[in-house]
């Protein structure tokens, strides 16, 4: 190996390939054994070889190149682990806030689909008679309790609940029918 390293220092860059071939597998195995999940072992190995090649002038020929390379790899692995922890910390701190802001933004801007559904619902409400529409107004605009609605309409609470259920179902069917008709007209 010292001969190959000497040739590299003398300008034979291709000689470093034999060094890489000899140490690549043991280095990757060592990195895989010491790396945390999520670390790209191949990337760290490549960076280690590049750093060793770049700093080959610092290596003292005749000493243990493998030990020197593995030391470089150890520091490359520490750097990558630190980087991944910072990224994870950043995401843990800021991702929920960013997600919350994006959700609020999306919720504050009604989508076209919801706008269309709302328009269809208004049209369906307009088709209800005044006596039926008042139940919807009382419940969803005025937020009147069921008991008061029962007293105003002269019905039982169970009767008011049933009436609201029937109205909601009727409105849902109306909206879906109108949406289907609108889609059919666009195709």
CB neighbour list of residue 42: distance below 8 Å, 6 or more residues apart: 28
Q: Provide the 10 A C-beta neighbour count for residue 53.
A: 13
Same domain, 25 and 92: yes
- The Cα-based distances of 22 to 18, 49, 118, 158 in angstroms read 6, 12, 69, 84
- State the pLDDT at residue 109: 65
Distance in angstroms (rounded) separating the CA atoms of residues 150 and 152: 6
Same domain, 67 and 120: no
Among the three residues 106, 121, 139, which one is the final residue of a domain in this structure?
106
Same domain, 167 and 119: yes
Same domain, 10 and 95: yes
Decide if 164 contacts 139 (C-beta within 8 A): yes
Among the three residues 106, 130, 146, which one is the final residue of a domain in this structure?
106
DSSP state of 63: S
Query: Six-digit token pair at 149?
Result: 């609605």
Same domain, 17 and 32: yes
Same domain, 11 and 80: yes
Same domain, 81 and 97: yes
First-to-last C-alpha distance (Å) of the chain: 72
Helices of type H across 59-145: 65-108, 112-127, 130-136
Among the three residues 106, 124, 149, which one is the final residue of a domain in this structure?
106
pLDDT at 187 over 60: no
Q: What is the CATH number of the domain that holds 64?
A: 1.10.1740.10
Q: Residue 75: which domain range? A: 2-106
Decide if 80 contacts 31 (C-beta within 8 A): no
**How confident is the model over 8-23, as pLDDT tens digits?**
999 999 999 999 999 9
**How confident is the model over 42-93, as pLDDT tens digits?**
999 999 999 999 999 999 999 999 999 999 999 999 999 999 999 888 877 8
Distance in angstroms (rounded) separating the CA atoms of residues 96 and 29: 36
Same domain, 29 and 94: yes
**Structural domains in the chain (count):** 2
Distance in angstroms (rounded) separating the CA atoms of residues 137 and 34: 67
Q: What is the CATH number of the domain that holds 116?
A: 1.10.10.10
Mean per-residue pLDDT, 132-139: 93
- State the pLDDT at residue 103: 82
């Amino acid at each position: 190996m010292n001969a190959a390293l000497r040739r590299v220092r003398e300008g034979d860059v291709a000689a470093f390939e034999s060094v890489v071939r000899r140490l690549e597998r043991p280095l990757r195995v060592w990195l895989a054994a010491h790396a945390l999940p999520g670390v790209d072992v191949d990337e760290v190995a490549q960076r280690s070889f590049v750093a060793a090649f770049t700093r080959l002038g610092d290596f003292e020929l005749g000493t243990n190149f493998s030990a020197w390379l593995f030391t470089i790899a150890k520091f490359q692995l520490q750097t990558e682990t630190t980087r991944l922890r910072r990224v994870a910390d950043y995401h843990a701190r800021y991702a929920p806030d960013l997600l919350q802001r994006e959700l609020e933004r999306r919720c504050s801007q009604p989508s076209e689909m919801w706008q269309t559904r709302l328009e269809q619902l208004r049209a369906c409400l307009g088709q209800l008679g005044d006596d039926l529409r008042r139940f919807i107004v009382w419940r969803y605009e005025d937020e009147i309790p069921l008991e008061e609605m029962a007293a105003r309409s002269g019905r039982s609470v169970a009767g008011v609940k049933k009436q609201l259920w029937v109205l909601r179902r009727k409105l849902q069917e109306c909206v879906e029918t109108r949406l289907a008709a609108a889609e059919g007209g666009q195709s």
